[in-house]
Amino acid sequence: MHDQDNSSGQDAALWALRFISGKYQGGEFPLRPNREIIIGRSSDLDMVLVEDMVSRKHAKIATNEKNITIQDLGSTNGTFVNGEKIRSVELKDGDRILIGTSIIKLVGLNGEVSANNLSETEARSKMQVDATRRPPSRTMSGSIEEIPLPDLIQLLSTSRKSGVLVLRSDLGTGRIYFRTGQIYFASIDESFDVSPRKAMYRMLSWTAGFFELEAPDERTVLEEIQESTEALLMEGMRQMDELKVIGEKLPAPSSVIALPRPLEAKLRDLKPDELDLFQLALAGGTLQSLFDRSRLPDLETAEALKQLIEKGYLQAS
């Protein structure tokens, strides 16, 4: 092993590997200058990750006074940094590493004492003890605050994971279905009023809550998403950014939308998409219900609703 513990003086740890998902979630491993840390399943290594998807010698992290690098050691399932499969790469503050089902974040300690006070041997022992105290789990789980959903989806896609990513937040319970890294279905609160693509785009904006990758669901779905996961992410992020701007000009989602009486604006002046939304509004309901029932993506629905309200076809109360 490469363990040469010295937790005092100039050899104090300035960085740590923080486990934000997986069996060792909450664990922290100090990184001191001028070390080589071997990560793998073998019990005689510096950092031992006991799980099937981790190779006996999986990866190596090397530190010096100026930088930190990670190198894959020919592992079976690969080493990923920020969603990219790597051979060797320099790590930066905040980078996320995926090894097996563990997502590990490189963090600067900035005077923190949690990992800084532990030697590498002590940190290794503490990780193993803490892992045995948790309920046994082979799934990937964690907090959306720790790893934003777009980053998590990129990791699952690049590492070709299969399963159902379950998201639990104040906004509902979302499910994103993966097949060897490809998203093929998505839902929120198991509602079929919202299309899979629209549900997927909405979940990208969730910034709080918890995630867990559950076993694959073999049920047949009527409408599979065909776009690549990369294309979905790019389009979803574009829509999310533009929707934030338009959303500020719309009433609250809980506002009741109705027709003004009398209706003075002329229906013949409406564009087809605007007319479709106007007809949906005839049934009454909230702004959010119009978004849910609209056949259009949320961004196009928002643009059309903004026009209908500004031109006097609809009003909020």
What tens digit of pLDDT does each residue of 225-237 get?
A: 999 999 999 999 9
| pLDDT value, residue 5 | 46
Residue closest to 206 by CA, chosen among 165, 253, 170 = 170
Pick the last residue of a domain from 243, 271, 294. 243
46 and 119: one domain?
A: yes
| pLDDT value, residue 191 | 86
68 and 119: one domain?
A: yes
72 and 35: one domain?
A: yes
Instruction: Specify whether the CB–CB gap between 195 and 294 falls below 8 A.
Output: no
Tens of pLDDT along 128-153? 655 555 555 556 888 998 888 998 99
| Whole-structure pTM value | 0.77
Residue 208 within a domain: yes
| Mean pLDDT across the chain | 87
123 and 201: one domain?
A: no
Is pLDDT of 118 > 80?
A: no
Residue closest to 275 by CA, chosen among 235, 305, 316, 244 = 305
Residue 1 within a domain: no
236 and 253: one domain?
A: no
* Cis before 262 (ω within 30): yes
Residue 114 within a domain: yes
Residue 110 within a domain: yes
Query: Which of 86-95, 111-120, 246-255, 293-302 bottoms out in mean pLDDT, i.e. has the lowest?
Result: 111-120
User: Domain span at residue 124?
Assistant: 9-133
Is pLDDT of 102 > 60?
A: yes
Total tally of structural domains belonging to the chain: 3
Tens of pLDDT along 281-298? 998 899 999 999 999 999
Percent of the chain with pLDDT over 90: 62
Q: In degrees, to the nearest 5, what angle opens at C-alpha 213 toward C-alphas 208 and 216? A: 140
| pLDDT value, residue 56 | 96
151 and 229: one domain?
A: yes
205 and 265: one domain?
A: no
Q: Which residues contact 121 (CB under 8 A, 6 or more apart)?
A: 3, 5
Beta-carbon count within 10 A of 152 CB: 24
Pick the last residue of a domain from 80, 102, 133. 133
Residue 3 within a domain: no
CATH code assigned at 80? 2.60.200.20
| pLDDT value, residue 219 | 81
Consecutive H or E run containing 233: helix 229-247
State how far the Cα of 228 lies from the Cα of 157, in Å rounded to an integer.
9
213 and 116: one domain?
A: no
192 and 151: one domain?
A: yes
| pLDDT value, residue 122 | 62
State how far the Cα of 260 lies from the Cα of 41, in Å rounded to an integer.
68
Q: Tell which wins on pLDDT, 119 or 150.
A: 150
Work out the pLDDT band at 111, boundaries 50, 70, 90: low
Question: Cα-atom radius of gyration of the chain, to the nearest Å?
Answer: 24
Q: What's the N-to-C CA distance of the chain in angstroms?
A: 68
112 and 148: one domain?
A: no
Tens of pLDDT along 177-187? 999 999 999 99
Pick the last residue of a domain from 190, 212, 243. 243
State how far the Cα of 103 lies from the Cα of 254, in Å rounded to an integer.
37
Tens of pLDDT along 39-75? 999 999 989 998 888 999 999 999 988 899 999 999 9
Residue 4 within a domain: no
- Paired tokens of 104: 């590990």
Sign of the CA dihedral running 131, 135, 141, 145: negative
Residue 94, Ramachandran bin (φ over 0: left; ψ between -120 and 50: alpha; else beta): left
53 and 91: one domain?
A: yes
Residue 2 within a domain: no
Residue 190 within a domain: yes
